[in-house]
Structure 1
Amino acid sequence: MESSINSVFKRIGDFDLEISKIGHLESEVNELKVTLQDIKESQSKSEQWVRRSNIQINGVPQKNGENLIQLIKTLAEKANYTLSTDTDIDFITRIATKNNTSDGRPKPIILKMHSRYKKDDFLTSLRKLNNLKACDIGFTGRQDKIYFNDHLSTDNRALFNEAKRLAKEKGYNYCWVRNCTIMVRRKDDSPVIHITSKDCLKKLS
């Protein structure tokens, strides 16, 4: 009887020890989750940082032998903006997206400028070209609408898309990006809500 009782107490002690180990492991897992989230956020910020001087241009038809520098010159003239292609532009290229292959839309154009402040000024001027179409910049007969935006990172692009979806669902009239920051406003006289993370989407009520 005494031996059996001692055996039971030993098993209980072993069980308590295992529970303690499990609790310790759970604590370590939670700490690792926090660390991983911090790393993801830091990586996302870094990805957006390297894009801070970039402008993304959507809707421009593609053609063989296209001259993207000349295209930017044409856009600058349309926007009445003084731009030196020799000193202001770092590089310009088209990039592939996962939708290009499925829907046949032209690849976006990424314009990287040497100065972020010059980029902000140029983008502001380009956005004043309301309802600019491809036919307005030399593509005869093409009615494709041209859009100008900040070049968002993958995470921020997904966040922006979700913000737009929720804004529409919740009755907000405006959802836009300025200086790589997502903003939402219900009406003209409503306060601006800054969306910097998924948690911020809870503000859209």
Structure 2
Amino acid sequence: MRLLRRNKRDQLIKASKSRRNVNSSDLDVPGKSYKVFYNERLTKENRMLFRETRTKAKEHDYSYCWVTQGNIFVKQREGKAAQPVRSFDDLARIFGI
């Protein structure tokens, strides 16, 4: 599903995060039940950056890597501050590459 209004998209994503494990039968979609995922659309550059960020986060035992409103963040563990990733230079700074 693609939403035209950013406000509605943000409301939908926020609601989906508060209710985990949503499936198609919850949305009254006929047929076999399947799990529903909500993903933000990213530019090609940000998709590549996010993919590389996830890879580096796993290699360096970071617990969290996510996208919010098109911005990429990583966090080492609960209680630590989230660090924004805006470029490949940020990856070098954060992970010491």
**TM-score over 0.5 (shorter chain):** yes
1:134-173 aligned at under 5 Å gives the runs: 134-137=24-27, 138-143=29-34, 145-173=35-63
Query: How far off its partner does 1:173 sit?
Result: 0.7
Preserved contact between residue 152 and residue 180 of structure 1 (Cα < 8 Å): yes
The answer to which structure has the higher helix fraction is 1
Which residue of structure 1 aligns with residue 21 of structure 2? 131
- Identity across the alignment (%): 29
Three-state SS of the structure 1 residue aligned to 2:3 is strand
Gaps of 5+ in 1: 1-108
- Give the AA of the match of 2:2: I
Preserved contact between residue 173 and residue 187 of structure 1 (Cα < 8 Å): yes
Query: How far off its partner does 1:149 sit?
Result: 2.3
Three-state SS of the structure 1 residue aligned to 2:26 is helix
2:82 paired residue among 169, 192, 201: 192
Three-state SS of the structure 2 residue aligned to 1:155 is helix
Say if 2:3 is the partner of 1:111. yes
- Give the AA of the match of 2:4: K
Which residue of structure 2 aligns with residue 122 of structure 1? 12
- Partners of 2:79 and 2:90 in 1: CA distance: 20
Q: Call closer, same or farther: CA 1:139–1:160 in 2, change over 3 Å.
A: farther
TM-score (norm. length: structure 1): 0.42
Cα deviation digits, residues 158-179 of structure 1 (max 9, x gap): 1111111111111011100111
- Partners of 2:57 and 2:14 in 1: CA distance: 23
- When the two chains are superposed, the root-mean-square deviation of aligned CA atoms in Å is 1.8
1:33-182 aligned at under 5 Å gives the runs: 109-113=1-5, 116-137=6-27, 138-143=29-34, 145-182=35-72
Gaps of 5+ in 2: none
Structure of greater relative contact order (alpha carbons < 8 Å, 6+ residues apart)? 1
Query: How far off its partner does 1:152 sit?
Result: 0.8
Count of residue correspondences: 94
